[in-house]
Structure 1
């Protein structure tokens, strides 16, 4: 039995959403963050050597890392429904955004968050990260004005990965979508998907999704 371990307000929501999109029969376990430091509780950290979300178990396998988990589940249980074949016209776009998510976009956000909490010494790093972050958001808005999904004409793992970054991750920062109409419209489309609604209700009951 596939088991998805979800840490509240974390990247592991991606895995729950993918499982719902695929209509899988899976075991779901939710963990609340600690009250004192908002980090994962000890029982979650014990699941994987990195001690961070997401984590799944599948038989004897324990697997971490969002991208690896998404591809594993989609290929093993979903007949690669959300992984485009090399012959597909959207293959390169899907591949780019799938890897851009945590390779660049999330990295920018984490650097920005860490710098905001550090004692200001040299403004250059903050300016460098701010510029990279602004460019990345501009790319997001441009892409969603060109295509219905990040991966092109259909929902792919690129969307499963990217949506967290432009929704829940914004709870940790003050990024708004006021000047991003394409992104805002895209999130409204995502929010209407039954699988996304089911996943969000499981992951964060009582909290509205950050779609605006």
Structure 2
């Protein structure tokens, strides 16, 4: 039986969703974030040395990293579904979005989260103005312009067909879901109507709803 080591409010939710789309049987081993640090519990290190989620174990093989997991599942269980044929006109685009999600889209979102935490972190009163100034400068001079550029690019791409690859739903849409869900919770722009419509479409999918029922709390949905 395939096992998903699932952390609440994390990227592992999209792995559950992908498995539901494929109709693959799986079991879930749940982990909860530390309520103060929001970090994964140390028990996950017994599964993978980095102690992060998602991780799957399938037939004695341990696979980590969302993109690698989705590619593994496509190879083992996809049967040609949810991905274009290798070498087809859409294949390069598919590979691009599968890597763009974590390689380019997520870093400014993580920096935004860090900057917000710097501004609100407990500290001596005399240090608060300095920390807030650092946070504000980091956001206004680098993070927010980067987010504006990336989200504008994504929005323009989604305007073409509503999906990231061709005119049909694919695993690339699942991989891109987490950055866009995170962005909508931190820096949503009303002008990005294509992103909003994309999120509404994926959240309405039956497989997405089933994954939520199995995965539990997920604040980004």
Shorter-chain TM-score: what band? 0.7 to 0.9
Displacement of 1:148 in angstroms is: 2.4
Displacement of 1:112 in angstroms is: 2.4
Unaligned runs of 5+ in 1: none
TM (normalized to structure 2)?
0.84
Quick check: 2:3–2:57 contact (8 Å CA) kept in 1? yes
Q: Does 1:161 align with 2:175?
A: yes
Unaligned runs of 5+ in 2: 119-130
Instruction: Give the SS at the match of 1:106.
Output: helix
Summarize the alignment of residues 115-154 of structure 1 with structure 2, pairs less than 5 Å apart: 115-118=115-118, 119=131, 120-121=133-134, 123=137, 127-154=141-168
Q: In 2 relative to 1, CA 180–66 (structure 1 residues): closer, same or farther, beyond 3 Å?
A: same
**Highest Rg: 1 or 2?**
2
Which whole-Å CA distance do the structure 2 matches of 1:137 and 1:117 have between them? 22
Summarize the alignment of residues 8-157 of structure 1 with structure 2, pairs less than 5 Å apart: 8-118=8-118, 119=131, 120-121=133-134, 123=137, 127-157=141-171
Cα RMSD, aligned residues only:
2.2
TM (normalized to structure 1)?
0.88
Displacement of 1:72 in angstroms is: 0.2
Which whole-Å CA distance do the structure 2 matches of 1:88 and 1:153 have between them? 14
Q: In 2 relative to 1, CA 92–147 (structure 1 residues): closer, same or farther, beyond 3 Å?
A: farther
Report which of the two has the higher share of helix: 2
**Across the two proteins, how many residue pairs are aligned to each other?**
207
Quick check: 2:115–2:138 contact (8 Å CA) kept in 1? no
Instruction: Give the SS at the match of 1:132.
Output: helix
Q: In 2 relative to 1, CA 15–124 (structure 1 residues): closer, same or farther, beyond 3 Å?
A: closer
